[in-house]
Structure 1
């Protein structure tokens, strides 16, 4: 008999793993590797590396699967980016960048450690229970081969777990009728999402788009006049996360309570090292 998972154990594990996947998006190593294959624009690089597993897709597919980016911002770079480098070329460059990034942030000793190998084994085992139906970004990444080196295998598994949860989360947002900007505004209002200046700068929406979404949310009773979540808005965000947890429970139930606890511990230690090494921009998260 398996031990039931503690409440929100899967979410806590995800919250340690997900940022480790994301380190390469902010890394100079990614810019260097993609510049070498012909992609010099930072925005184009993000769209390319995340969508490359789906093949040379168009702007509509990227906008749909990424959800909270402005269609105009996506169309500025996709599908033109595939003229600079093919998806296969991008994927190879991405893996080289991840390798360099993790070695730089974590150090060679950590990369080669038994703890890294254990984290990779646990994360890959959890990912065995992920399912691809109605999860296009996860399914595309799941078709990629697992890298041999443990730190890259861990990153690959972290990516699978991230996109599996993310695809499910988008279904939940649709169910509660939060469109792309509405979702960004409410997430920022929790204090846990991107700060507005980061959301606007990276997602391609205007201040007018942000204000219009805030108006819709006030009309629904989710946001107050100061831009804070109301009790109803707070309850909705909790509902969203709880339902996302439910849709994402399979990998963590498969791993089991002890495995999830250990993976959370290992990933948390790796994340602390990455943050201490300057993996992420300052003031990216929060309401400021």
Structure 2
């Protein structure tokens, strides 16, 4: 299919919007809200708020839809977390945390600006072309109501776009025959993924698991002895992103070239402000 958009326009738009969604996972506001519900473990909180839109699901569903977490880690917290708080209470706590996080990172004047309202309108229009089929995390979040406040409506739309792309990305990883940790290792090797320290500290894997995944990738000719991508590895990661773009083109085609360019411009300004305000720890991304 011939696209009406410039190359990688949808990916660029996604990349500048995504931090607006993911910043709340690193926010002290989320920890505060979850602690009030009795959820004090950081991993349990992450699994709970991200999967709550699907209901009180089991560990298998979370592992399947999140993909790159160790099932043993997931099973340590799910379904036990639902005994501490219901999915409905967790979704409400997440919304309060997102509101507080965006207010802290962006400031009241920005949140009340016409630019945020415009970004919300554009992002919501893009989501009109998202599809539920074979996209469980997107489909679950798409069933949630759109918030009234423009900055929350923007976050909701960005979340839909993020999960829509993510669900498609998992299908591409399966086709590329990259298991969860191989996907993480190869992404880290690009310099754009999480550092090994953050992967091992948050995804439930251990150093021998990481080493074994590196060995498997070297056996396929995708990773060098020093842990860098080979030409074949670089080509595979490029193909993965291009195929993910193809599966995720509908919302951006629907928005149109001018709309995507404007949403990218607005999203970049907002994300730049959030990053400058310390939205993420300094050592999260890179090869480490």
Q: Distance in 1 between matches of 2:188 and 2:24?
A: 23
What is aligned with 1:221?
Answer: 221
Q: Report the Cα distance in structure 1 between the residues aligned to 2:256 and 2:55, rounded to whole angstroms.
A: 34
- Which residue in 2 is equivalent to 1:165? 165
| CA shift digits 1:20-63 (9 cap, x unpaired) | 10010011110111111111111111000000000000100000
Distance 1:171 1:147 in 2: 30
Report how far residue 283 of structure 1 moved.
Answer: 1.3
* Cα offset, 1:70, TM superposition: 0.3
For structure 2, the residue ranges without an aligned partner over 5 or more in a row are: none
Q: How does 1:1-288 map to 2 (within 5 A)?
A: 4-288=4-288
The Cα shift of 1:4 comes to 1.7
Q: Which runs of 4+ in 1 moved over 2 A?
A: none
Q: TM-score, normalised by structure 2?
A: 0.99
Q: In 1, distance between residues paired with 2:141 and 2:38?
A: 23
SS of the residue 1:224 aligns to:
coil
Q: Deviations over 1:153-192 (max 9, x none)?
A: 0000000000000000000000010000000000000000
Q: Equivalents in 1 of 2:205, 2:41: separation in Å?
A: 18
| 1:270 CA displacement | 0.4
Contiguous gaps of at least 5 residues in structure 1: none
Q: CA deviation at 1:122?
A: 0.2
2:65 and 2:221 mapped to 1: Cα distance? 28
Deviations 1:218-243 (A, max 9, x none): 11000111111000000000000000
Deviations 1:215-269 (A, max 9, x none): 1101100011111100000000000000000000000000000000000000100
Cα distance between partner residues in 1 of 2:186 and 2:55: 32
Task: Give the Cα–Cα distance (whole angstroms) in 2 for the partners of residues 212 and 40 of structure 1.
Answer: 32
- Tell me the SS of whatever aligns to 2:77: coil
Query: C-alpha root-mean-square deviation of aligned residues, in Å?
Result: 0.7
Counting matched residue pairs gives 286
* Matches of 2:105 and 2:204, distance apart in 1: 29
Structure 1 residue 75 displacement after superposition? 0.6
- TM-score normalised per structure 1: 0.99
CA distance in 2: counterparts of 1:237 and 1:42, whole angstroms: 30
1:117-151, Cα deviation, whole Å (9 max, x unpaired):
00000000000000010000000000000000000
The offset of 1:213, in angstroms, is 0.6
Distance 1:42 1:186 in 2: 25
2: CA distance between counterparts of 1:149 and 1:104?
16
Distance, in Å, in 1 between the alignment partners of 2:189 and 2:35 is: 36
Cα shift at 1:77: 0.5
